[in-house]
Structure formats: structure tokens, C-alpha cells
Structure 1
Amino acid sequence: MALPTCPVCDSGDLDGVEKLPDGRLVVRCLACDHEWVRGEALVPAKPALAASYESLKGAFPTADDVRPQVRQRVEALIDTFLETQPQTDPQVAPYWAKYQQIFSEDGLWEADPEDLKAFANNSVGAHPGNMSVFNQGWNEMGTEKAAQRLRRTIDHLLRGPAGTRLEDRFTDLVEERRGLGMVGFKESLLTRVLCVVEPNRFLPILKYSTPSGGKKEIALLVYGLDLPAREKVSWTIGRLVAWSNDLLVGLLRERFTDLQHASAFLWWAKDQAPAGA
């Protein structure tokens, strides 16, 4: 390889003066004092862009992904189910109505602490599971402090700052971002609040994924749809909860009197001959 020489006087007596931020070198000829820049600028690799909300939502499975033969099987299962279980639990509607008032913007801040605590320990309409962590946290905080913390948690979930998405507010509370959230009042109870306040949107199936069957497992066993794993951070738990719910509701709405009835079918159908086995 030929050694560099000065382009003016052809001298090889050169000195490096300065290395530029882009990797090129400023060189000076010691014979004639001419300076020039040698080398090619290094173009930094662009950092990988995080997937956007819209691109992730567009990649989430839809009703169109359900195979025709699976649709036929589900319709036959619905026919069988409705022959034997045509009604929903009559105590759910009045219980939901009571808590719709308690969780309203006007009712929440005056809500009786005992009503707030009771909500976490009642299984009417949807069973939230073991609430020992919540109850211990409540007792350690004391009634007034715990009730106020829970009021702020529910208000952030349902209303939150202007312009924020429900999915992001849900994730804030599950992950306790910026000091938000209430101990023990996580995914199942937050989803139960949504079921009460928006009973025509949210199925009373309170977990996204669980060994006994969450929305992810139900989507696979009933519809043959493989939903994303929660461990993939970009999806976030709030997005997975909301999008899986909307997917299942869209597949079921027309055949059932309400979403209580629809969720009862899904619990039953997942234990039949599974589409995703």
C-alpha cells in the first residue's frame, strides 16, 4: 500500500493534527504547511426504533385470523351451551350498578372505605383470586390512608391525565410507575373495575394469562389464536389485557345477552375439544 503524500508538494513528511468526530483525520504537510482531511466519514448506525403503539396493535391477532373450520366448531359449541345455560347470574346487575355509582367521578371521593375494601374481597360477577396481599397492605396502611390510595388508583385507571390511553394507565398501576398503584390491587382487580364501569366492553375474565386459563389460553383453546406472551416487554400488560378482551368480545358479542353470559361460555368452551391443542 502506497504511503500518503502531500497533494501540493508530494512530500511524505506528514503529521496528524486532529481526529474529527466522524473518524476522519486532519493532516499537515511539514514541508509546505498544507492541511487537508483524509479518510471517509463514519456514518453511525441508526438505533433500532421501538415498535410504535399502532404497529404493535396492527400485529395483534384479529378475528380474521380464526380459521373457518374453527369458527364452525365454535358456533356448534355456542348452540350446545345456549341449550343448557341460557341465563346469567341475577345478582350481578344490581351489584355492578352499585359500584358504577361508587366508582363514578362524583361518587369515588366520598365512597365508604368499607365498600372499597369489600369490592376486593367479593366474587360477584368475577372472582379476583386470593386477596391476602391487598388485605395485609390495607391493614398496614390503616383504613383512611388505604382508602385514599385506592381512590387515587381507581381514578387514575378510569380517568387519568387528559390524553393518556387506558392501556398505559393500566400498566402504570400494575407496575407502580411514578409511585402510582395500590398494593395487591393489580391486574385482576383493575380488570374487575373495568368490568363494572364498562360492562358492555370488558369480559369478566380477569387475567391475561394464567395456568387455569386466562384470555390468552382461552383464545388458543377455543379459537386457535396464539396471542403474544406477557414477557415481551413492548406489548405491556395494559395493551395485552385490553386488546385480548376486545378480540374475544368481537368474536362473541352477537350470540349472547351480555358479557357475563359470553364469559361463562368461554370458561366452558375452553374445556371442550380444544382448537389449539
Structure 2
Amino acid sequence: MALINCPTCSSEDINGTPQPDSRLLIHCNDCGHEWLRGEARRDPARPAVRTSDSLHASFPTAADVRPDVRERVMLLTSEFLMDRPEPDPDVEAYRSRYAALFTQDGLRSATPEQLLHFANSTTVADPANMSGFNRAWKTAGPDKAATQVRATIDYLLFGPESLALEDRFTHLVEGSKKGLGFPSFKESLLTKVLCVVEPERFLPVVKYTAAAGGKKELAKLVFDLDLPPVEKGAYTIGRLAVWSNDLLRSLVGNDIPDLQQAARFLQWAKARPAMSRT
């Protein structure tokens, strides 16, 4: 592999994984870029290589929701909005403050106190149990911990342009790149960062799957859609976290454009009796 250079960063630090069609999937360990090398062997008995695009194309869409389910959700939406739930008055100021902090320039000046507060606050999105994060923070010390958290957020938001957001997300959750990320700054907190910087896209539902109602469970209970389980190398946690968010956003966000309220609606609607199939 030493004779092959990454076309994105020219690094020689690469490795290759044989594919079922006899090609090699080349991975650059420096920038994360991947590409296929070699001629594909035509063998109908072997499954085709599943790319991110092909996986995304097969992911459920809003068009897969049955008409009777759509009608039920419309009725539930009307019922929910009749109560005119009041928005959390602290959300907007909190989001504005941290959105400014989570720019490339702002991150450099983010203090340990600000980052620790972000991780433990339930405003915008509740990351749930932060005991592991707080232990890691205490062990590292505030200065070193803050440096690592800044690097984590920087990689998520501004990492290599050759990598999609969902793949950077996966790298941080899985720790697949040595030395990358801060312990316990994983799926919940990464999602919370995205809710702050892209509030019109990301719902404050911080887990893909969770007993209390992750995105996978909400898709099933509210829209009767079966989303795939996490699968390393294919349906990765980053892809599923982002794609399921965008699916739920498209299904509910037009009727409830405030995504804080949209997330409340989904959690409320999941407990309502489902319509039986006809």
C-alpha cells in the first residue's frame, strides 16, 4: 500500500479491505477518505458493495407512510396544537449563546466552564446520564478535557470536507480514529451540538434507539415505519442518526416547524393508541 497515495491529502498512511467483487476499499488513516481500487469481478452469486448512496436510497422515506397512518398523525397534530404548548423561554438565548461559541473562532475561546455546562444542561436537548462524561472530565482535568471537547466539536462540525457529517459522527461515536474525541462525548452530546448549530434541521431527540423513545422507536410507534438496526460498516450510527432525523423532520416539521415542539409532539403521539391495520 505504500505506493498508493490518498487523492485527497496525498498521505501514504492507508489500508485496504477486500470487497466481495475482488476490489479493495482503500481507507486513508489521515483524512478518512475512502475509494475503491481494482476491477470489479462480476459474480451474481455475491452481493453488491453497499455504498452510502445506495444505503441512503433504500432508507425509508415519507412516501412509505401508509395513508391511514398519515390521517391519524394529522388528527393527532391538530389535537396537540389545540393545547398551544408554551415554548421553553430559556431555549432561544441558550441556543444563540452556544451557536456563537460553536464557530471555529468561538471554539478557541470556549472556557472549560462553558463546555462543562453545555454537557450537563438539559436546555435544548437532554443528554441524560452524564456520569461517565463527568468522571472523564474530572480525571483529565478541566484544561485538558476542554481541549479534547473543543477538538471533538471541531471535527464534527468542520472536519475533513471529504467526509460527510454522518461519517464524522460515526468516527466520534466509535472512536475509530486513534486519539479522536473525548470519552462519553458521544451520540447524545454530538446530537445536542447539531441541535444548537442547525436548529431548523435537527430534532432534540438525542438517541437513534432508546427504550424511552429514540428516533427508531418514534418512527415505528408514530408512523409505523421500520428503520434498520445499527450495522458497523453499512448502516452506521452516524448515518442512521442523521438520516432518521431528516426523515422525522420531513414527516412532522412542516406542520410543527418549531422542532422543540415537534420532538414533544412525537413523544406525546407515541403513547396514543395506534390504528389497526386494515
Indicate whether the TM-score tops 0.5. yes
Residue of structure 2 equivalent to 1:13: none
Alpha-carbon offset, residue 155 of structure 1:
0.3
Residue of structure 1 equivalent to 2:240: 240
Tell me the percent identity. Answer: 51
1:203 is aligned to 2:203 = yes
The answer for the alignment partner of 2:226 in structure 1 is 226
Deviation, structure 1 residue 113: 0.8
CA distance in 2, matches of 1:126, 1:112: 21
Aligned-partner Cα distance in 1 for 2:54–2:138: 43
CA contact (8 A) 1:102 1:111 kept: yes
- Rg larger in 1 or in 2? 1
**Counterparts of residues 1-277 of structure 1 (less than 5 Å):** 48-179=47-178, 180-231=180-231, 233-274=233-274
CA drift at 1:236:
0.2
Shift of 1:203: 0.1
Letter in 2 for 1:197: V
Contact 1:222 1:276 in 2 (8 A): no
Residue-by-residue CA offset, 1:203-254 (whole Å, 9 max, x unaligned): 0000000111100000000000000012464110000000000001001122
1:50 & 1:140 partners in 2: Cα distance?
43
Which amino acid is the alignment partner of residue 192 of structure 1?
K
Residues 60 and 44 (structure 1), Cα distance of their counterparts in 2 relative to 1, 3 Å cut? closer
- Contact preservation (8 Å) 1:222, 1:275: no
In structure 2, C-alpha distance between the alignment counterparts of 1:52 and 1:261, rounded to whole Å: 34
Q: CA–CA distance in 2 between the matches of 1:142 and 1:245? A: 34
The one-letter code sitting in structure 2 at the alignment partner of 1:212 is A
Closer, same or farther: CA 275–178 of 1 in aligned 2, 3 Å:
farther
Would the aligned equivalents of 1:205 and 1:263 in 2 still touch at CA under 8 Å?
yes
CA distance in 1, matches of 2:203, 2:191: 9
How many corresponding residue pairs? 235
Residues 224 and 275, structure 1, Cα contact 8 Å, conserved in 2: no
| Mapped partners of 2:275, 2:175: distance in 1 | 37
Give the CA deviation at 1:275.
5.1
Q: RMSD of aligned C-alpha atoms?
A: 1.8
Letter in 1 for 2:105: D
- Secondary structure at 1:123 match in 2: coil
> What TM-score, normalized to structure 2?
0.81
Alignment gaps of 5+ in structure 2? 1-40
CA distance change for structure 1 residues 252 and 221 in 2, over 3 Å: closer, same or farther?
same
| TM-score, L = length of structure 1 | 0.81
Q: Which moved more, 1:69-78 or 1:160-169?
A: 160-169
| Structure 1 residue 162: Cα displacement | 2.1
Q: Secondary structure at the match of 2:253?
A: helix
- Give the ranges of 4+ consecutive aligned residues of structure 1 lying more than 2 Å apart after TM superposition: 43-50, 274-277
Structure 1 residue 87 displacement after superposition: 2.9
Q: Secondary structure at the match of 1:106?
A: helix
CA distance in structure 2 between the partners assigned to 1:162 and 1:230 by the alignment? 24
8 Å contact kept, 1:215–1:245: yes
Which position in structure 2 is the counterpart of 1:5? none
Distance 2:114 2:276 in 1: 41
The residue type paired with residue 72 of structure 1 is E
Following superposition, the deviation at residue 177 of structure 1 comes to 1.5
SS in 1 for 2:254: helix
- Post-superposition offset of 1:88: 1.6
Kindly indicate whether the alpha-carbon contact (under 8 Å) linking 1:220 and 1:275 is maintained by their aligned counterparts in 2.
Answer: no
Give me the whole-angstrom Cα distance separating, in 1, the residues matched to 2:249 and 2:80. Answer: 17
Unpaired runs of 5+ residues, structure 1, are 1-42
Shift of 1:276: 8.4
Confirm or deny: 8 A CA contact 1:134 1:183 kept in the other structure.
yes
| Post-superposition CA distance 1:64-112 (Å, at most 9, x none) | 0000000000000000000113432121011000100111111001111
Query: Residue 8 of structure 2 corresponds to which residue in structure 1?
Result: none
Alignment deviations for residues 132-180 of structure 1 (CA, whole Å, 9 cap, x no partner): 1100001111111110000000000001012210000000000012121
